[in-house]
Amino acid sequence: MNTIKTPSKIILFGEHAVVDGYPAISMALDLKTTGEIEENFDTISIDLVDLNEIFEITPELIKNLEISNFSPALKYVICAVKSVIFYLSEFKNLKEIKPFKLKLYSEIPLSCGLGSSASVVVTVIRSISNFYGIELDNDETINLAYSVEKEVQGRASVTDTATISLGGMIEIINGKYKPMPKDLEEFIKTCKFLVVNVEERTRKTAELVHDVSKHPEKEQIFEEIGKIIQNVRQVTDKAELGKLMNENHELLKKFGISTEKLDLVAKAGQKYAYGGKLTGAGGGGSAIILLKEDREELLKELKKIGVIGIYECKMAN
């Protein structure tokens, strides 16, 4: 049996600005999806272990399978299976679609901006290409995963697929991704983050992106966020990094995409840790806090606020 592990992601700085061609910095997170793949007798079998959903089909029927009637999670997985098999057959000389059994497990909370779907899609792509003994490079994996996300959800973010495929820390600008300087990555590796799943998202990413695009001070705010990112490139100290997170949160608030609870959690991070901000599109979802060694007061405060889940995380390779 072959096992593949794929990280999740957070946007550290620059969400929304990145949609307009400004830079963003994102980081792979050590909450992971695991894929276990092995030969099967006569069918392609997919087992979403945590969701208790099993799907089975013969290899002959997978290529033309219509995904619209499946559950949200199976839509991503089946679309990824179809896409990678199509790609390997068309461009990588895969002759025979041997049956396999793929089990997927995930530690990543759903629908809160941590890239759970991109992580599952990348796991499926890598598990299947490995199973057939064909290596896909990072760009091929990122492009395939991006097209799956786009097909299933209508819009997709290269931030998610690139960060999750490459691991570590990357900068995204104008739809292109590049690694961050090694010394900055080494410093961020020493940081511990609390990822707080604050509340269910009440607004869709597309709607929030649209609202931001209409904001009268958009350019000015994005310029300010761009300056924060320039400062992040030089940062060597956790207190300074936390301060930049706080500043980014205040700028995002101006767009009206934060919520009362996201603000409370960010404030708790600002008061009881090095800093805090919302991460991702906003409208609910997640916040990140840069942790200090002592977390007692912070955890008490989060308990008082009442959040869905908290995860202590660090950068994943």
Catalytic site positions: 160
E strand segments, the chain:
2-13, 24-39, 44-48, 53-57, 100-106, 169-173, 176-179, 193-199, 275-279, 285-290, 309-313
CA–CA gap between residue 114 and residue 280 (Å, rounded): 8
User: Looking at 4, 10, 12, 19, which residue binds ligand MEV (CB under 6 A)?
Assistant: 19
Counting contacts by CB under 6 A, is residue 18 touching ligand MEV? yes
In the complex, what is the shortest distance from the CB of residue 124 to ligand MEV, in angstroms, rounded to a whole number? 21
Helix, strand, or coil (residue 239): helix
- Identified binder of ligand MEV from the candidate list 114, 225, 281, 313, rule CB under 6 A: 281
Q: For the CB of residue 300, give the shortest distance to ligand MEV in the complex, in Å.
A: 29
Q: Which stretch binds ligand MEV (CB under 6 A): 15-23, 55-63, 268-276, 289-297?
A: 15-23
Spatial contact of 252 and 15, defined as CB atoms under 8 Å apart: yes
Among 4, 7, 13, 15, binds ligand MEV (CB under 6 A): 15
CA distance 184 to 244: 15
Closest CA to 234 of 243, 168, 79: 243
Can residue 113 be called a binding residue for ligand MEV (CB under 6 A)? yes
Size of the site for ligand MEV (CB under 6 A): 12
d(CA 206, CA 171) in angstroms, rounded, equals 22
79 annotated as ligand-binding: no
**Do residues 215 and 199 make contact, with C-beta atoms less than 8 angstroms apart?**
no
Question: In the set 8, 33, 161, 205, which binds ligand MEV (CB under 6 A)?
Answer: 205
List interacting residues with ligand MEV (CB under 6 A). Answer: 11, 15-16, 18-19, 113, 157, 159, 205, 209, 280-281
Residue ranges of the annotated binding site are 109-119
